Amino acid sequence: MFCIRTYNQISAVGLSRLAADRYQVGPDVKEPVAYMLRSHKLHGEPVSDELLAVARAGAGVNNIPIDEYTHKGIVVFNTPGANANAVKELVTAAMLLGSRRILDGMNRVQELTDISDPQEMAKLLEKEKKQFAGSELAGRTLGVIGLGAIGSMVANMALELDMKVAGFDPALSVEAAWRLSSRVQQTESIEALLKQSDFVSLHVPAIEQTRHLINSETLRRIKPGAKLLNFAREEIVDVDAVVSALDDGRLAAYITDFPVPALLGRKDTLLFPHIGASTAEAEENCSVMAAEQLMDFLENGNIVNSVNYPQTRMARNGGYRITFANENVPRVLGTVLSVLADHDMNVIDMVNKSHGDMAYNIIDIETEPVPEIIDAIAAAEGVMHVRLV
């Protein structure tokens, strides 16, 4: 029986994938081997020796102490792409709201409470409609910074709206490249993208390298009158620099899912209450992906969509499976194989992958290992969290 503790409200669609005869799941589960969560912050919380994995039902993992968990051998999963369509649709709405004075017009209509005659109302609105004129998206250039699951969908969506699209992503994966339309112009730098874009949409993770990626220096290079959209993470944008750029007119508008007090009351901002992934479909998709990734890891030792350990998968070919994480240094795997050889354990198949200073291994052997073998592997220098799966 695998015990999984849940935090936040995890969609029942995903939780239903965890069969009751193999999983005990809930917020009050004792001695969990895994967590499933959304926004709950784990920083500073004690970590038990039994904890093997954390699954975040969403893309961002800044609520999880990644470095600490990595060096304890705890695998952290996220669900990239599961909420991509929800964010893409909200970005589309944001660009439309940012180019047409839709909200101003709707608010004006709601003010006409003293008019009871429909014809009088229609006549007045016809007279006033010029003040709510906007511009069309077609023919404008959208710059997309970050072309992963969400960024590539936003780029493709803009093309369908007859926009021009420029993209920048120095770490573009092969998988993301396949998703991306060939009509997206790849730029060599953020600066080159900013100079030509009427709209700039951010879709990069919040890591040290992207903190304040948009700052006073980059905003000096942006096309005059451009509109900046941030539906990725608050930390990517230096808000003080954005306020200055809005004040001096270099930036026409800032549209974001991460409101802060400094932006309130401005007519050149559109502030959303962090609802990028707030759809029933996105929550279901995230919970299903998180549950299935945990199941595959706990039952088979496979790792898919981890942010701190390498993607490592191997089909079951019979026998018994040993998995272990280790520091990515020489001789660790050789030591483990020597332990197996010394106990006459024949290896059927194996895979070894590395990610930064960590490595992960799956080894299938013909006969069931005695406890002394597992203990010897665990005692090898650099090895952590050995499991017989």
Q: How far apart are CA 211 and CA 67, in angstroms?
A: 17
Domain residue ranges of the chain, discontinuous segments joined by +: 1-83+277-309, 136-271, 312-389
Q: How far apart are CA 35 and CA 143, in angstroms?
A: 37
pLDDT number for residue 59:
83
Q: How far apart are CA 202 and CA 235, in angstroms?
A: 11
Which homologous superfamily does the CATH classification assign to the domain defined by 312-389? ACT domain (3.30.70.260)
Domain 1-83+277-309 identical in fold to domain 136-271? yes
Residues of the chain with pLDDT under 70: none
> What does pLDDT average to over the chain?
95
Going by DSSP bridges, is the β-strand pair 347-355/320-327 parallel, antiparallel, or unpaired? unpaired
What is 136-271's CATH number?
A: 3.40.50.720
pLDDT number for residue 288:
97
pLDDT number for residue 170:
87
Q: How far apart are CA 68 and CA 227, in angstroms?
A: 38
pLDDT number for residue 76:
98
pLDDT number for residue 177:
78
pLDDT number for residue 153:
95
pLDDT number for residue 202:
98
Architecture in CATH for domain 1-83+277-309: 3-Layer(aba) Sandwich (3.40)
